[in-house]
Amino acid sequence: MILLSYTLTFLFCNRLTTYPIRNPILLFFLITSLTHIGAIAIPGAFRFYYSRSFILVSFLITLTWVSIGYLLSAHEKSNKRVGFVPDKYTEELTLMENYQWVDLSSAPSLDEAEIDIISADLHGALTDDWRRFLAAASLSGIPLIDSATLYETVTGRISLPHLENRSIDEVKTQYPAYLPIKRILDMSLILIFSPLILLVMTIIAVAIRIEGKGSIIFIQERVGYRSQIFKIYKFRSMSNFSDSQPTKFTKKDDQRITAVGRILRKHRLDELPQLINVLNGSMSLIGPRPEQHDFVTEYSDTIAFYPYRHSVKPGITGWAQVSQGYTLTEKSTRKKLEHDFYYIKNVSPWLDFLILIKTFNTILGGYGSRY
């Protein structure tokens, strides 16, 4: 069992670090904990003998080993010199600390540049001089990477300006066969954790009722899969709210938020009734968050590819939520949409597992909450 735990830990950690993550050590801790809990649970279920001290030592050694391996690889990556041909991705890419960035506009020859990788908009309007430079670099063995691809890898987003000059096919799901399986996984997870879910929801409902009058569940229409309108369920976290009021963003320290609602929003527990939406098939556990119809209409008019976020089922949690948090402006909404497109393109069991782990961290720590 210990060997299996180590193998699974290494497999998951190695695979999940291909995605942009903020706190890899915390991620490693959670994954190592899960695999070693399994090392205890399985022998315990069959009443086999196991040594707790041995499993604890294995946990510490495994966590230390995968952490050291990651830190060494991250150090090696940070020493790589990436030469970039200035383009529309340059400003944001060079803010990232993943690599050492070298401006090639001041390096007319490969010998002077001393670089390991070259980033350029390979589908953009490059001059003949730049094309000759890139051809020479490729022939000399220096890897070339499209700056849009590098942007996606480093930021976990797909650039909207990039899409404006490309086909929407570039954000089509790479693993379409996985989408039907998501439904089975959603139902299985809800069934497994249903006793805990029902207990927590009961406590929350009682707390809302004790705090004051009004409905416990808040119902609102949202736009979902293939732009279909459906009713979403949430625990009520605000007072004096009605559908007749203008649609607007909820701001931090909004006076309409109740005391219980503030706690629910901080830890995203107000979203729990959306499990009903998952059960009836209008939502998934993981996917782009469903928006109100007024917002969808507004953003569809200003952002050409916005409706494509409805090509997969909306989710209770998603890549944008665990990476960015709530949005308050159109600018942050555009950034959120870039996260959504990244998820749509890269949706897989690995990415969904990473989002679940990060959601668990969000529930405990309240990251990205709006209250």
pLDDT over threshold 70, residue 167: no
How far CA 239 is from CA of 211, 255, 263, in Å, comes to 11, 9, 14
Cβ neighbours of residue 29 under 8 Å, at least 6 residues apart? 63
- Residues 347 and 21: their CA atoms lie apart, in Å, by 16
* Tokens matching residue 280: 């009836």
Least confident stretch, 7-11, 208-212, 250-254: 250-254
* Tokens matching residue 250: 């909820």
* Tokens matching residue 295: 């917002």
Q: 3-class DSSP state for residue 232?
A: strand
What global pTM score does this model have? 0.84
CA 307 to chain centre: 19
Least confident stretch, 49-58, 113-122, 127-136, 345-354: 49-58
pLDDT tens digits, one per residue of 196-250: 999 999 999 999 999 888 889 999 999 999 999 999 999 998 875 544 455 555 5
